Structure 1
């Protein structure tokens, strides 16, 4: 019988480090769009997996003999799971995992089609190093090394030295890396995925502890900011829609580039195009941007109904579902007597809606259990948009008027799947199945909205209602830049990616003429706009946006990662561009002021959510919402 070949524990350690290092660096280049520029950033990307890898495997060396090697295998498995989970998440959401995301596992399980579509045939290679290590342990004999503890200590010291050098060089290239940026891409690019995971855990623990120590004094800065940031309403429009219904239509994943876009000479969204050009007295804001973060659709709902930004990590709908809010539905109910309802062809637990809507003071929630969910009427996440809108009309008719109704579509959702019999437009021809399918589902959504407008008119609900249509977030992520460069016939630069965050905002107000408005704005501005149209002064409330129709409206549009767009400047990852031309500009006193302003706005909004500060905010004509008074029924598929 042949004797097993011997290798030392130190050799096994070095092999494990090398395998993880190569695998991680390869994944950086293949899977993530980190925006690496210059030799220094390339060097940092190369070395940043080492410090965490050497540290973790070094700790395993304190164990004796083969046991140390098995601990290295276990740690390698954990690091592989961390890496591959982030790869899957990034392919789907164009972002990195955070600990709060892990609370959203119910949502991920409801996205089966999308998750499986992000798996590639070569993915098994990300687990190959674990298989190699296990093979070695079975085929070779591990010999102990002298001065075992000294070797482990040396590995830990080496990891700390590498991390110190890594962080020092990163701070030279990106000052205040860990304190100034909201962008997870920066942390991964400069410090590595594993260090980012540790950093995220520390940050999450710190943020979760903030609520316990908060007091009414912590609300002072936010109150001062929103008061000084307030924009006086347009006198001619203040109260013009008082007593009218509000019907808000959520255009899932709909980006503004689709408006007037032609595919092979055919309009993709002919009905929405007509609305954008003033049909039915619609006003179309063509410089309107989504401002969502990891919460995506739920962030859009939060921002529009509360004029508060989503969180830098995770979804506030999930992690802050017990917070106090002063939401648009509750304010309209108390000040103007509006009944409120949300209608959606998915089940109520998705995004924790059945809980957080109670915090918002929403009277009725018609979820999938209120609709006919036959197999031929369901695709992707839930009920197709056409039957959804058709079945929603009787529900709207049942509401006491005036009402505030929010209808959430979902057919035009990644991975943009549509049954053949529902397709009235050919797929795109870029060769990217996501982008090519996007045109078909967008057309289907367009037809569904047209049908809904006709049904509203027939039901007598159209003329006496404010109609709002908005895109919640981008549909095509930066992972599809090659195809998008073909679609838009332009190079997709960081500047162009920022411009691609435009989503439609259309509003019909009885008594106002339609047309195109070029005002820069974002989702944060919707609540104060609707309040002023209803004759409710937004000033007493904590709102971080301003009235889109006000002469004092602030046209600085902040993105969740700290970038921003104004009519003059576009800032992306610290680089300044001319908004009109895309030309790179040198920073100046004005751009520095804008960066500080955006940072302050985001930080104060985060303080409000993390510390649950609205529980300390008293308004004379507003009573805190009592969530226990709201009940949405028990029928569910859970």
Structure 2
């Protein structure tokens, strides 16, 4: 073993390279389910580039320490990217990884996501530590090398690896599908390509203006709708102004998928409150999440603005310094007070920047609530609504119209709630399973909403309040809930993406007979739909949105990225996921959840969504700073 350790010391560079490349192969196996040798050349070029730089900058006596640190850093990066992919289904960029400081707030979720196999990235350190311990015990000291390096050869090799990386990036930088691009380039070159593309995009809009983007959007809509079907603008037809002057309460349910609505477990309803509310509400059963790396905070951004997240950074972090056109800002013109309630600290996902950016009058965060230690976030949904009712009652008593947003947290991953709050008896096959915990948490979420609705009625506020209730994003992770097992256990069709990303949207307007719609929609459509009900014509108000009023749209198509690659979309017929582009993509029937072989007739939808999201990105990037 001493001889082995001495060999490792003498060949630190190549030992480190081999170890890192083995971990790259492990990473590709975990994330992409394959290890294509040809793809490893891009990884090798990037790794060698960094290592040659270190070789040139490091003295002989420090090489083992420096390359050991490099190995550690790469191991941590690959570990983090693997865990990130497991949770998000996306390859993280340097901008997404910059939000790692938020992980402490969701420690339980992070811990639940890590799998035992992920620790294989660190096995070599255990082996090397044992070898090092043996050499110490043998007292066999290795004399420090005084050999002179060969900087010229290393510099030439460095230029060659930089050139190779540049060629790989140039050949693949224009692929919009992030997963395909990252698989071809590898984790390091993918970061470089992302930075280059971001610079190109920012330079392209540097001389642009919001007005130019608005004009381009109008032209895009006009071109797309030619021969496709007329879109009725918000405020020009059905249900316009039926809720004019009413208060608005928006409830964003944590991790709430649409499959929970109407679910029955051994004769026990999981969502009896929502089921009853739907009977007299507008219920959209084919609405899908559209969030980016900001998750819940991105859902807040979407529902309040009708603007797509950029997908590369949480909107609260990247654009919290802007004055974003939003529902709170619009309603402020009509003397509404806008409050938002969340039991976590307001700095979580930079909400202390997000809420001013969205124009909220006031926010209530962790110090406003009594911590009943419901879960890692602290206070329960019941406590959330208790405080909310106090504040809203005060406004009601002053005859002040309000727009109130509640961000629930009691059904947050990993969904384990205190035993005294569990109100459903699970069958044996669900006991101790994530799906079982998820159902228990959803049942509690539903009950708390019911108590809140009753409080609104008791206070005489219910008959003058519009209720908007929707899910922020999926709950069940595929790694813990095999789709085939879910189908068998629940007795329903369950597709890994269509079912998982499907969230409920319920809008209750007092005195208006609702209806159930299977029209496809997204979180980007919530703001224009609500504006129509409140009698606010967004075009007349000078507001630009990238969603549609679901009550007055003859057809719809929405884009999604981050949890699926850019270019993915949902329309009233299919869910489409691109390959390198449209032609090699895949599609699923939105009703049967079965694969669709021929989707060629939907190319216009693909081109439209690609252009629409690009314009949305331009719009938010050009929005004025506060």
TM-score range, shorter chain: 0.7 to 0.9
Query: Residue by residue, what CA displacement relative to the aligned partner does 1:52-107 show, whole Å, maximum 9, x if unpaired?
Result: 22222233333453434433222222212211222333344443333333453453
Deviation at 1:254, TM superposition (A): 0.2
Determine if contact 2:323/2:359 at 8 Å carries over to the other structure: no
Map of 2:388 onto structure 1? 392
Please list, as runs of the form range in 1=range in 2, the aligned pairs for 1:86-165 lying within 5 A after superposition: 86-121=81-116, 123-130=118-125, 148-149=150-151, 151-153=153-155, 155-156=157-158, 159=161, 163=165
Partner Cα distance (2:106, 2:419) in 1: 20
Matched, 1:593 2:604: yes
Q: Is the 8 A contact 1:250 1:469 kept in 2?
A: yes
Q: Which moved more, 1:378-387 or 1:214-223?
A: 214-223
Distance 1:45 1:327, change over 3 A: same
Q: 1:131 to 1:214 in 2, by over 3 A?
A: farther
Residue 595 of structure 2 corresponds to residue 583 of structure 1:
yes
Q: Is the 8 A contact 1:481 1:492 kept in 2?
A: no
Question: Does the 8 Å contact 1:300/1:523 carry over to 2?
Answer: yes
**Cα 1:437–1:98, aligned 2, differ >3 Å: closer, same or farther?**
same
- Say yes or no: does 1:80 pair with 2:91: no
Q: Flag structure 2 segments of 5+ consecutive residues without an equivalent.
A: 136-141, 226-230, 579-584
Contact 1:385 1:410 (8 Å CA) reproduced: yes
What residue in structure 2 maps to residue 557 of structure 1? 558
The match for 2:289 is 290
In the superposition, relative to structure 1, how do residues 526 and 20 fare at CA in structure 2: closer, same or farther (>3 Å)?
Answer: same
Tell me the residue number matched to 1:464.
Answer: 464
2:183 to 162, 171, 189: 189
Q: Say yes or no: does 1:320 pair with 2:315.
A: no
Give yes or no for the alignment of 1:487 onto 2:498. no
Which runs of structure 2 are paired with 1:190-269 in the superposition (5 Å)?
A: 190-203=184-197, 214-215=208-209, 218-225=212-219, 228=222, 231-232=232-233, 233=235, 235-269=237-271
Distance 1:26 1:494 in 2: 30
1:13 counterpart = 2:13? yes
Equivalent residue, structure 2, for 1:572: 577
Task: Give CA deviations for 1:271-313 in whole Å, capped at 9, x if unaligned.
Answer: 223333x1xx122111111111111111111111111011211
Q: How does 1:459-538 map to 2 (within 5 A)?
A: 459-482=459-482, 484-489=483-488, 496-538=496-538
| Cα distance change, pair 35–220 in 1 and its aligned pair in 2 (3 A) | farther
Other-structure match for 1:621? none
State the SS of the aligned residue for 1:463. helix
**Further displaced range: 109-118 or 208-217:** 208-217
Using the TM superposition, give the Cα deviation of residue 262 of structure 1 relative to its aligned residue in structure 2, in angstroms. Answer: 2.9
Give the drift of 1:243.
0.8
SS of the counterpart of 1:519? Answer: strand
What is the number of equivalent residue pairs in this alignment? 591
Q: Distance in 2 between matches of 1:440 and 1:264?
A: 14
Aligned to 1:49: 43
Q: Specify whether residues 137 and 495 from structure 1 end up closer, same or farther in structure 2 by C-alpha distance, changes over 3 A only.
A: same
State the shift of 1:463 in Å.
Answer: 1.0
2:421 paired with 1:410: no
For 1:564 and 1:236, the matched residues in 2 are separated by 26
Question: C-alpha deviations, 1:426-451, integer Å up to 9, x for none?
Answer: 45736884333211111111111111
TM-score by length of 1: 0.83
- The residue number in structure 1 matching 2:440 is 440
Q: Post-superposition shift, 1:151?
A: 4.4
The answer as to whether partners of 2:256 and 2:504 remain within 8 angstroms in 1 is yes
Q: Secondary structure, in 3 states, of the residue corresponding to 1:246?
A: strand
- Conserved? CA contact 2:238–2:551, under 8 Å: no
Alpha-carbon contact 1:347-1:367 (below 8 Å) kept: yes
Distance 1:275 1:563, change over 3 A: same
Q: Distance in 1 between matches of 2:143 and 2:488?
A: 60
- Cα offset, 1:184, TM superposition: 3.4
Change (3 A) 1:492 1:366: same
Query: Is the 1:424–1:440 Cα contact (8 Å) retained in structure 2?
Result: yes
Q: Once the two structures are superposed, what CA deviation does each residue of 1:540-577 show, in whole Å capped at 9, x if it has no partner?
A: 31100111111x45410211232011122321133233
CA–CA distance in 1 between the matches of 2:571 and 2:5?
66
1:194 Cα shift?
2.1
Query: What is the TM-score of this pair, normalised by structure 2?
Result: 0.85
- Deviates most, 246-255 or 80-89: 80-89
Equivalent position SS for 1:152: helix
Q: Which residue of the partner structure matches residue 357 of structure 1? A: 355
| Structure 2 partner of 1:618 | none
Q: Report the counterpart of residue 610 of structure 1 in structure 2.
A: 621
